Amino acid sequence: NAVSASSARGIFQGGVGSPTNVNTIEYVTIGSLGDGTDFGDMTIARQYRTSVSSSTRGVTAGGDPTTDVIDYITISTLGNAQDFGNLFTGRYGTGGCSSGIRGVWAGGFPGSGNVNTIDFVTIASTGNANDFGDLTTGRGYLTGCGSPSRGLFAGGLTPTKVNTIDFITIASMGNAFDFGDLTSTRAALAGCSNSIRGVFAGGNTPTMVNTIDYVAIPTTGNAVDFGDLSILRENKAACSSSTRGVWGGGNDPSNTKRNTIDYVELATLGNAIDIGDLTPSRKGVAGCSNGHGGLG
């Protein structure tokens, strides 16, 4: 089960600073305000990696330059990541979702072009990812979130930007199904959730947006406006508790890397509020938590 909203920890990993990729791992306590705190280092310095997580472990995969590396941390402790295994297909810019048992990565870029690949691991073990099925449309720079039973993958680049939302049943295997549409076509967005509501923020259309929109995960249908991020940005990371969604890092319309951390209350509507900073400023960050909606 998810860690309580008051103590849930959000993790931000990797990205590209100025000018190089970083292996930095930082954490925040989602229920409080404040800056990121040093956690340890990833096994490799990469941007556009994607994290999935259980209530105990965060598992991060892929990255640019293209790699199939999967590594993991124990979220409640501090320390460096350890080797987990390899993706079914090495790639970057995937979308990720997870239950307490299984982590799933979808889409991405294997260097050039994009793929519809979905693969998965059992989070409590180590080993290589296995094939799950296919997205409805191959794309990269998409995002994922979910409930304990259902995973969603939204937006992305095909190479044109799309408003597609797909869903899977995490405990099974098979191809994704159409869920509905985002309020706008966009890529490089970041999604998070509680067990009922999936919330997607930012990205580019190709004009950069501060849009936040949401869906009810147990249903199907189109996203509805939620509010706005505190600043325009893309390529940031998201994490969540049962009550709060948090976004960290990214780049603004001038391509300046940002250290911004902002949040919303997931059960309400409204604009995000700035609560602190990451160190260093970076984009292409991966995010996860031990309290997100896929954990109940």
Residue range 122-153, pLDDT digits in tens: 999 999 999 999 999 999 999 999 999 999 99
Q: Are 275 and 232 spatial neighbours (Cβ–Cβ below 8 Å)?
A: no
pLDDT mean across residues, the chain: 97
Q: For the residues 162-172, what does the mean pLDDT come to?
A: 98
What is the C-alpha separation between 75 and 32, in angstroms, rounded?
17
pLDDT band of residue 258 (cuts 50, 70, 90) is very high
Locus of tokens 């490089």: 188
pLDDT, tens digit (0-9, with 9 covering 90-100), for 99-119: 999 999 999 999 888 999 999
pLDDT digits (tens, 9 = 90+) for 10-36: 999 999 998 999 999 999 999 998 999
Bridge-based pairing state of the strands 82-86 and 237-240: unpaired
| Residue bearing tokens 């406006």 | 225
Query: Which of the 8 DSSP states describes residue 295?
Result: G
Closest CA to 46 of 29, 61, 26, 28: 61
Using CB atoms within 10 A of its CB, is residue 254 exposed (0-12), middle (13-18) or buried (19+)? exposed
- CA 87 to CA 146: how far, in whole Å? 21
Taking only the tens place, the pLDDT of each residue in 182-215 is: 999 999 999 999 999 999 999 999 999 999 999 9
If you average pLDDT over residues 65-81, what whole number do you get? 98
Residue 76: pLDDT band with limits 50, 70, 90:
very high
Work out the percent of the chain whose per-residue pLDDT is above 90. Answer: 98
Kindly state the tokens that stand for 48: 């556009």
- At residue 288, the pLDDT reads 98
Alpha-carbon distances, residue 295 vs 30, 71, 181, 197, 287 (angstroms): 15, 20, 25, 13, 15
What is the per-residue pLDDT for 112?
A: 83
Q: Which two tokens stand for residue 38?
A: 């040093």
Does position 229 have pLDDT exceeding 90, yes or no?
yes
pLDDT for the residue numbered 18? 87
> What distance in Å separates the CA atoms of residue 181 and residue 223, rounded to the nearest whole number?
6
Position 33 scores a pLDDT of: 85
According to the model, what pLDDT value does residue 111 have? 84
Residue 126 has what pLDDT?
A: 98
Q: Are 154 and 164 contacting, i.e. CB atoms less than 8 angstroms apart?
A: yes
